[in-house]
Structure formats: C-alpha cells, structure tokens
C-alpha cells in the first residue's frame, strides 16, 4: 500500500517537472483569462486521471489514490475555474474507466465537492503556503469521508488514513515547493533567454552599424590579437579577405607585413608602438600612404574594471578633405594676392603699400636706419588719355610700372601703384643721396622709353616727376609723415617744371 501511495506522490512530482520542461521556452505565468484557467484545469484533470491508473483497490468497487492533490494544485494555480474543471474531468474518467457504481457515484460527488471547496478557498486572502495546507487538509478530510461511506469498515478506513494523510500533506508541501522552484527556474531561464536574445540583437545591430560607418575600425586585445575589424577597414587598407578571417591574427605581425603601404613605414610603426605603450587617447593623428592617400587615425585604450584590456583604432580617409583644404588655401592665396595687387600694372596696390610702409617703418626705427620714399607722377597724363585714349593710357602705365620695378636695387625695395597715374617706392636702409640716384635713373629710363606724348607741354614723350624724402624713423613720428613729405616733394618737382626729381631743396633733371 505504502509503495503505491509513494508512487502516486512521485508521479505528482514528475508531473510538475514535466510542466517545467513543457514551458522550457515559454513563460510560466498564473492564468488570467477564463480560457487559460480552463486549460490548466484540463491539464490537472489529466494528471488526476493518471494517478487513478496507479490507485490502490480497497475493495472491489473502492479505489484509493491522491487524485485530490491534483485538484488542490489546480486550485492553487488556476483558481476556482481550474479546480472545478479538474474535479469534473476526474469524475468523468472515474465513471468511464472504472464503471458506474454506487461507490463511483459517491466518490465522484465528493471529488466535485473537493473542487468546489478548494476553488472557494483559492479566493481567500491567506498566504500561499497556509492556503495550500488548508486545502490539503480539507481535501484529505473529504476524501476520507467518501472512503468511510463507501467502505463502512472503520479498521480499513483507519489503516488507509494512516498512510494517505501524512503522504498527502508531505507530498502537497513538496509539490508546492517544487512548483515554486520550477516557476522560479522558468522565470530565470526565460529572463536569461530574453537577455541573450536582446544581446544577440544588439550585437547584430552593432555589427551592422560598425560595418556601415565611413571609418575603418580595428580592436585588438592587450596581447595585440585582433578582436574585431569592420568592412571599411579592409577596404581602406586593400585587404582582400573577409573581416572575420582577421580575428585572432597577431596585430604586430600584420602591421609589419603591411608596412609597404605607408609613406614613412618605420615612423608609423614606431609611433603606433609608442601610443600603445603610453596608453593615452590620441585624437586626429594624420599620416600619408605610399599611394598618396591621407588618413587620420584616433587611438582609444580600452579600460575594463580599472585595467587595460585592449586598444581601439579608428581610421578615416581624409584625402578628399585635404585636397579641398589645399585648393581652398591656394584660392585664398590667390584672393589675398589679388587684394594686394593692382590689377592693371601688376604692382602692389595702395593697401599693400600701407602695410609694407608700417613694417619697414618699424624695422628702420628699431635699427635706426634711414627710410626713403619716392612719389612718382606721370606728367600731363590726362592730356595723354584725351589724345590717345584710355587703352593706350593703360598700356603706358604698365610700361612705367615695369620700368619702375626694374630700377629698384635691393630685394627689400618695394614698388606700388599709389592711385591713378601716381606710383610710390619704399627704399629701406637707403640714404637720401642713394634715393636721389635711383629716382634719377627711373626718370631717365621712363623718358628713354620714348612713348609719344604730342599734347604734353613739357616734352613730346611721356615723362614723370618724382618727389624724394628720407627720414630715420623716430618714436615721435608716424609713417604717414614720410608719405606726406614725399608727396610735398612731388608737388615741388611739378612746380619746378615737371620731368624733375625733387628731394628736399634739391631739384634736378640729371
């Protein structure tokens, strides 16, 4: 008898584990809808029927088993709906399998009563363990009452009760604990599966993202083993293998085997080793490849739990950006030059003259050296334009500018178009006597060009008047001082009859 009762209890435990395996990839949850509760009721009804297959025959018409424990578990898990359905299912199986007898009718009625009472107890606010024990006691009491009615022999009933009660109470507690364990394990298992699935999805998304960013990424371990490279990295460095094939490769060896692609391989490898040893993040380091491409790389040391775990490199092809930057610089240089050069004559313009004057003034002031300025004006140039036209006038100014620039001796000498038909020349470190000699040379060479000027009252060829002024810059003077004095000398040269060089009180046509 004891063996059969223990077999019933063992079947109950096995059933709980079977449910756990059935829900291995699904979450075990307490049913909420009527349909879910009904399903659990049918499941426990099936289990109660299974227990009856291993029942003990007390008499020819009376069988004893732990079917009421299945009803108790149905009530604990699915509430009153599951309890009543499981009890009803067990009743029908009892009638169908063992036949319709008076004992079957009594047992079936009390089975339904167990379902109803346990269903009502499931609605109480008692704690789970106390509720289980109460259901177990009530179910065992009702089952004992049914057995008493059917058997009518007190000794037989007492003997069966001595086995059934302790076994049912112990099995109920054990089944409850196992069920809690199975549910907890199921929840943990499903949480781990969900986390694993989310991690896999995140890894897939990260892999897709890394493969589609416009930068080459390489991650290596602290031991210089390649952990990850993306597709852009292999494309940038011309590696004709799938990125996954590089994982596990020795990065140092790979770097040495690829040294031919760098414009300065030894410097690149040495710098790489230095960054790895320093373990300090590096931003925007630019290097050139042997094919002319220009790359930028960033280095990030990987730190985990306060310890260095590896290295991450990000490479970006900035060749187009650098070419665009170079073109922009060239364009800016051209624009700057155009903003400083007179478009007609090619000499520096007034803006450049002012900047150069300031520079040379400060230089000569610090060195206490003389600074000479020549102011040059084309004689009767308005009459020249009226006679020969503006195109000829422009050509005349270009020839005068070429002659003026050719007559300057030193690299630091500076010629500019001052405005209209006026020109200027800065002669740093040049004394007045030397400046006068240069002015005379300029006047003579322009006259020697023999550019016709029939309407000029001064000469039948184009001539110029030149004013010369020399000063040693001092703190109490401004650069404008020398320009004003040179301009006054120019007007004095015109007053002296034009085609003249005038310096202070010296006027000459020599």
Whether residue 406 has pLDDT greater than 90: yes
Instruction: With residue 377 as reference, give the H or E element that holds it.
Output: strand 371-378
Give tens-digit pLDDT for 210-230: 778 889 999 999 888 998 888
Summarize the confidence of residues 367-377 as an average pLDDT: 95
Give the model's pLDDT for residue 506: 43
Q: Considering only 9-13, 349-353, 367-371, which range has the smallest mean pLDDT?
A: 9-13
Give the model's pLDDT for residue 8: 57
Q: Which amino acids are annotated catalytic? A: 421
Distance between CA atoms of 308 and 208, rounded to whole angstroms? 26
Summarize the confidence of residues 236-250 as an average pLDDT: 86
pTM beyond 0.85: no
Under CATH, what is the fold of the domain 216-321?
A: Beta-Lactamase (3.30.450)
* Beta strands per DSSP E along 384-490: 414-419, 422-428, 464-471
The fourth-level CATH superfamily of domain 341-508 is: Reverse transcriptase/Diguanylate cyclase domain (3.30.70.270)
Residue (of 273, 289, 277, 200) closest to 238 by Cα position: 289
Q: What is the DSSP letter of 386?
A: H
Under CATH, what is the fold of the domain 2-189?
A: Arp2/3 complex 21 kDa subunit ARPC3 (1.10.1760)
Q: Considering only 64-73, 76-85, 181-190, 459-468, which range has the smallest mean pLDDT?
A: 181-190
Q: Considering only 152-166, 274-288, 459-473, which range has the smallest mean pLDDT?
A: 152-166
Percent of the chain with pLDDT over 90: 36
DSSP class per residue in 189-241: HHHHHHHHHHHHHHHHHHHHHHHHSSSEEEEEETTSBEEEE-HHHHHHTT--S
Backbone angles phi, psi at 294, to 5 degrees: -120, 125
Whole-number average pLDDT of the chain: 85
Give tens-digit pLDDT for 12-46: 666 655 655 555 555 445 566 888 888 888 888 88
Predicted confidence band of residue 51 (pLDDT cuts 50, 70, 90): confident
Where is pLDDT greater, at 157 or 283? Answer: 283
Q: In the chain, where are the structural domains located?
A: 2-189, 216-321, 341-508
Q: Considering only 151-155, 156-160, 231-235, which range has the smallest mean pLDDT?
A: 156-160
Predicted confidence band of residue 510 (pLDDT cuts 50, 70, 90): very low
Give tens-digit pLDDT for 439-479: 999 999 999 999 999 999 999 999 999 999 999 999 999 99
């Amino acid at each position: 008898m004891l063996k059969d009762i223990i077999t019933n209890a063992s079947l109950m435990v096995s059933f709980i584990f079977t449910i756990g395996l059935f829900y291995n990839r699904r979450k075990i949850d307490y049913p909420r809808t009527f349909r879910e509760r009904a399903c659990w009721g049918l499941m426990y009804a099936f289990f109660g029927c299974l227990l009856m297959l291993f029942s003990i025959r007390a008499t020819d018409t009376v069988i004893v088993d732990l079917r009421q424990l299945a009803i108790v578990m149905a009530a604990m898990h699915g509430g009153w709906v599951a309890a009543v359905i499981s009890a009803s299912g067990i009743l029908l199986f009892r009638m169908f399998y063992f036949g319709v007898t008076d004992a079957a009718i009594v047992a079936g009625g009390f089975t339904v009563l167990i379902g109803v009472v346990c269903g009502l107890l499931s609605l109480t606010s008692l704690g789970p363990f106390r509720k289980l024990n109460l259901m177990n006691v009530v179910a065992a009491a009702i089952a004992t009452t049914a057995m008493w009615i059917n058997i009518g022999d007190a000794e037989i009933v007492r003997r069966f009760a001595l086995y059934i009660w302790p076994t049912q109470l112990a099995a109920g507690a054990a089944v409850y604990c196992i069920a809690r364990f199975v549910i907890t394990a199921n929840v943990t298992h499903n949480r781990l599966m969900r986390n694993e699935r989310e991690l896999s999805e995140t890894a897939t998304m990260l892999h897709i993202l890394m493969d589609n960013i416009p930068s080459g990424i390489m991650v290596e371990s602290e031991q210089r083993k390649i952990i990850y490279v993306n597709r852009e990295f292999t494309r940038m460095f011309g590696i004709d293998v799938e990125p996954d094939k590089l994982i596990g490769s020795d990065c140092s060896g790979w770097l040495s085997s690829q040294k031919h692609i760098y414009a300065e391989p030894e410097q690149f490898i040495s710098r790489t080793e230095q960054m790895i040893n320093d373990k300090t993040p590096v931003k925007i380091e630019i290097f050139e490849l042997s094919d002319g491409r220009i790359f930028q790389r960033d280095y990030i040391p990987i730190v985990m739990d306060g310890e260095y775990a590896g290295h991450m490199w990000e490479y970006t092809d900035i060749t187009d950006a650098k070419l665009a930057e170079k073109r922009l610089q060239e364009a800016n240089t051209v624009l700057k030059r155009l903003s400083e050069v007179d478009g007609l004559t090619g000499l520096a313009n007034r803006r450049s003259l002012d900047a150069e004057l300031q520079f040379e003034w400060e230089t000569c002031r610090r060195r206490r050296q003389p600074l000479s300025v020549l102011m040059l004006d084309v004689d009767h140039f308005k009459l020249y334009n009226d006679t020969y036209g503006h195109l000829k006038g422009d050509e005349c100014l270009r020839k005068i500018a070429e002659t003026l620039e050719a007559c300057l001796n030193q690299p630091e000498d500076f010629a500019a178009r001052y405005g209209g038909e006026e020109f200027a020349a800065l002669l740093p470190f040049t004394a007045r006597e030397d400046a006068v000699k240069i002015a005379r040379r300029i006047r003579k060479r322009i006259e020697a060009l023999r550019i016709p000027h029939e309407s000029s009252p001064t000469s039948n060829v184009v001539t110029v008047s030149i004013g010369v002024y020399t000063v040693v810059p001092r703190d109490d003077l401004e650069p404008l001082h020398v320009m004003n004095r040179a301009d006054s000398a120019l007007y004095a040269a015109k007053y002296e009859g034009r085609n003249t060089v005038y310096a202070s009180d010296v006027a000459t046509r020599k």
